[in-house]
Chains A and B, each alone.
Chain A
Amino acid sequence: NAGVTQTPKFRVLKTGQSMTLLCAQDMNHEYMYWYRQDPGMGLRLIHYSVGEGTTAKGEVPDGYNVSRLKKQNFLLGLESAAPSQTSVYFCASTEGSYGYTFGSGTRLTVV
């Protein structure tokens, strides 16, 4: 099925380790986003991209980096994981004002 695919689905990291979350979409969408979801805080935008080769900061970008080398992929990196980055991460994409398509999420625990 067409949509947004996130890998991995679950991950446990030790403090200080690094990792990359991959988001892939097959809908040829220009815009892609990374959010984190924490209890009681809804969705918070980490970084987003308005096209291949572009990235921009959202409201909570510290501790994360992103890259959009190919239109279909949007990578989220944690260089040195901290317990505060324990969260569920969602990727989304859209072509405009028609609504987002979300991935199924990555549950990350940093111990």
Chain B
Amino acid sequence: GDSVTQMEGPVTLSEEAFLTINCTYTATGYPSLFWYVQYPGEGLQLLLKATKADDKGSNKGFEATYRKETTSFHLEKGSVQVSDSAVYFCALASGTYKYIFGTGTRLKVLA
């Protein structure tokens, strides 16, 4: 079945460092891919998405490119801030209405 694998956390970075959180997937066909962010005590919020191969999703300085050849959707940001500290989830749309989530990667940014 479809699945999502993301890197184990926590990831600890200094402010203004470069961020990469790896995400790879297994799926039949070409699913839409997503990154969600969860701030402490809150629900998940959609951060960005890509619906087809080579699409780049972007939002709030975060980017991820849908790579069909490597079945990956890695999240990147050029310069992280303390306010980016959160848990990040990679997900894919498995069929029309069911989504598969990774286990989440906690990011901690130090001032």
Contact = CB atoms under 8 A, between A and B. Distances in A.
Interface of A: 4, 30-31, 40-43, 45, 48, 50, 90, 92, 94, 96-105
Interface string B38-64: 000011111001010000000000000
A102 B44 contact: yes
Nearest to B35: A99
B42 A105 contact: yes
B42 A31 contact: no
Interface of B: 31-32, 34, 36, 42-46, 49, 51, 89, 93, 96-99, 101-104
B46 A43 contact: no
B44 A40 contact: no
Contacts of A98: 32, 49
Given A90-B44, A102-B43, A50 B97 contact: yes
Nearest to A56: B98
A100 B42 contact: no
B43 A94 contact: no
A103 B103 CA distance: 19
B25 to A, nearest CB: 14
Contacts of B93: 97
A36 to B, nearest CB: 12
5 A-B pairs with least C-beta separation: A42-B103, A102-B43, A31-B97, A97-B93, A99-B46
